């Protein structure tokens, strides 16, 4: 198949899933064209089957905006026409699905096949729960959903939310996030601890784009409570709007020497491999890819009951789930995992087993079957 993938290039789950999907499809012999504003952060490879089309932003003096969606539509139309794309797969409903719709209209008179390409849209979460919930954006998100030939969501939770909020015309297929366990596995290296200046203390980790939904303040509060009982270091990987607030809180609590802001690192396996616990106190999380990747590396996760977490985190077996904002509850479960090594070991093994249920190869097969269905319709 010839597949176009539109994704956000920035540090975040939807870009990661789209890019890993495209790489896996290319490895299976499909031709994959990526469309993005800049090179997706996980692409980092080249192959005869992978093409990358940077969408160039035009700045005109008269306008304050840069018309990304329009430039993207022109680019998709051009590539779809000349490279004869079968499928265009938009990751994140807006603006990506809308740009693909426009590309189809551009091609209307040129294509022998009325639709040129089939449009698949994957809903990742905040396109529905945050942007879609904004009354000013609701109708365009609904249009993006209803005009796609097929819509998938990354969890059952997100499917239910989408049905509740938008009552879409077509059924939504759930295809979960995935992890490549041949790359994400526990392989602890002493030198990583040494490089970070960490001795024998426990390591707590969080990875995200520090958006308000991630509740970074709660992570600092939980970690502060932990340090009153045990020796620990907190590794914060990623960056984003809540970073400054987090730093202020860390200073106020007097724990700056125990908290490391590491920035947007691509290679997270070495850090996950030395981590004892991941904290994910999000108040909205459609799936939680970072948690799945941590589990593949044997790291139990203390998360919230929000969104998709309950679909793969089983309390007491491979992690714990508490209500959003329940700092005390999350601290207590974190302490339980960090102070009872036998329990930690059992959870860690269960995490690895659970992650194998979300192996890249099997989820990529689901996407291939999905594309085939769309093409046959
Ligand atoms: O918030 C993020 O981590 C980024 C966000 C995105 O839109 O890129 O991630 C969303 O998509 C991921 C991949 O499907 C999911 O694993 C995340 O749970 C989801 N984030 C939220 O729902 C907040």
pLDDT digits (tens, 9 = 90+) for 314-323: 999 999 999 9
The whole-number average pLDDT for the span 82-102 is 94
The whole-number average pLDDT for the span 76-103 is 95
Q: Is the CB of 285 under 6 A from ligand 1?
A: yes
In this predicted structure, what is the pLDDT of residue 108? 86
Choose among 377, 372, 373, 366: nearest CA to 21. 366
Is the pLDDT at 217 greater than 60? The verdict is yes
Please, are residues 238 and 261 in contact by the beta-carbon 8 Å criterion?
Answer: no
Choose among 160, 178, 134: nearest CA to 23. 178
- Measured in Å, how far apart are the chain's first and last C-alpha atoms? 16
Q: Phi/psi of residue 190, each to 5°? A: -60, -35
Helix or strand (DSSP H, E) at 102 = helix 98-107
Instruction: Estimate the crossing angle of helix 98-107 against helix 138-147, to 10 degrees.
Output: 50
User: pTM for the full model?
Assistant: 0.94
The whole-number average pLDDT for the span 277-286 is 96
Choose among 297, 301, 296, 291: nearest CA to 338. 301
Percent share of the chain, pLDDT over 90: 82
The whole-number average pLDDT for the span 273-299 is 97
Q: Phi/psi of residue 289, each to 5°? A: -55, -40
Please, are residues 192 and 172 in contact by the beta-carbon 8 Å criterion?
Answer: no
Is the pLDDT at 335 greater than 90? The verdict is yes
108 alpha carbon – ligand 1 mean position (Å)? 33
User: What are the residue ranges of CATH 3.40.50.2000 in the chain?
Assistant: 2-178+359-376, 190-356
Q: How confident is the model at residue 200 (pLDDT cuts 50, 70, 90)?
A: very high
Token pair 């689901």 in the structure block, residue? 366
340 alpha carbon – ligand 1 mean position (Å)? 31
Is the pLDDT at 134 greater than 90? The verdict is no
What distance lies between CA 41 and its chain's CA centroid?
12
Residue nearest to atom 12 of ligand 1 (CA): 13
Q: Is the CB of 125 under 6 A from ligand 1?
A: yes
Whole-number Å distance between alpha carbons of 30 and 141: 29
Choose among 42, 127, 165, 310: nearest CA to 301. 310
Whole-number Å distance between alpha carbons of 26 and 33: 9
Is the pLDDT at 168 greater than 60? The verdict is yes
Q: Give the ligand 1 atom nearest the CA of 92.
A: 7
Domain 190-356, second-level architecture = 3-Layer(aba) Sandwich (3.40)
Q: Give the ligand 1 atom nearest the CA of 213.
A: 23
Q: Give the ligand 1 atom nearest the CA of 158.
A: 22
Choose among 106, 308, 151: nearest CA to 143. 151
Q: Is the CB of 284 under 6 A from ligand 1?
A: yes
11 alpha carbon – ligand 1 mean position (Å)? 10
Strand partners for 172:
151
Q: Is the CB of 287 under 6 A from ligand 1?
A: yes
286 alpha carbon – ligand 1 mean position (Å)? 6
Whole-number Å distance between alpha carbons of 138 and 128: 9
12 alpha carbon – ligand 1 mean position (Å)? 6
The whole-number average pLDDT for the span 219-243 is 97
- How is residue 280 written in tokens? 């994910």
Strand partners for 237:
207, 263
374 alpha carbon – ligand 1 mean position (Å)? 25
Please, are residues 278 and 291 in contact by the beta-carbon 8 Å criterion?
Answer: yes
In this predicted structure, what is the pLDDT of residue 114? 52
The whole-number average pLDDT for the span 13-21 is 94
Instruction: Indicate the CATH number of 2-178+359-376 among 3.40.50.2000, 3.40.50.720, 2.40.128.30, 3.30.70.1880.
Output: 3.40.50.2000
């Amino acid at each position: 198949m010839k597949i176009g993938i539109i994704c956000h290039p920035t540090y975040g789950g939807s870009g990661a899933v789209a890019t890993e999907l495209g790489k896996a499809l290319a490895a299976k012999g499909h031709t994959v064209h990526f469309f993005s504003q800049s090179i997706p952060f996980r692409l980092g490879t080249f192959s005869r089957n992978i093409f990358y089309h940077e969408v160039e932003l035009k700045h005109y003096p008269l306008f304050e905006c840069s018309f990304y969606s329009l430039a993207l539509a022109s680019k998709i139309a051009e590539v779809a026409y000349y490279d004869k794309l079968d499928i265009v797969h938009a990751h994140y409903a807006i603006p990506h699905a809308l740009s693909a719709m426009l590309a189809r209209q551009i091609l209307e008179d040129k294509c022998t096949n009325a639709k040129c390409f089939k449009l698949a849209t994957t809903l990742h979460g905040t396109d529905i729960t945050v942007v879609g919930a904004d009354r000013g954006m609701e109708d365009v998100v609904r249009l993006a959903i209803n005009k796609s030939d097929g819509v998938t969501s990354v969890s059952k939770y997100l499917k239910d939310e989408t049905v509740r909020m938008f009552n879409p015309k077509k059924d939504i297929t759930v295809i979960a996030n995935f992890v490549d366990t041949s790359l994400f596995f526990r392989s602890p290296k002493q030198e990583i601890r040494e490089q970070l200046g960490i001795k024998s203390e426990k390591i707590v980790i969080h990875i995200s784009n520090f958006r308000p939904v991630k509740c970074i303040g709660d992570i600092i509060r939980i970690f502060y409570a932990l340090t009153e009982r045990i020796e620990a270091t907190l590794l914060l990987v990623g960056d984003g709007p809540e970073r400054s607030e987090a730093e202020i809180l860390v200073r106020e609590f007097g724990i700056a020497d125990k908290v490391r802001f590491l920035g947007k690192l691509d290679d997270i396996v070495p850090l996950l491999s030395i981590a004892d616990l991941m904290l994910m106190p999000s108040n909205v999380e459609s799936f939680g890819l970072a948690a799945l990747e941590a589990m593949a590396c044997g790291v139990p996760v203390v998360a919230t009951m929000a969104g998709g977490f309950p679909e793969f985190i089983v309390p007491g077996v491979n992690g714990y789930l508490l209500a959003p904002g329940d700092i005390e509850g999350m601290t207590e479960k974190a302490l339980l995992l960090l102070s009872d090594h036998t329990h930690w070991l059992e959870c860690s093994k269960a995490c690895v087993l659970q992650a194998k249920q979300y192996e890249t190869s099997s989820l990529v097969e689901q996407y291939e079957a999905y594309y085939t269905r769309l093409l046959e319709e």
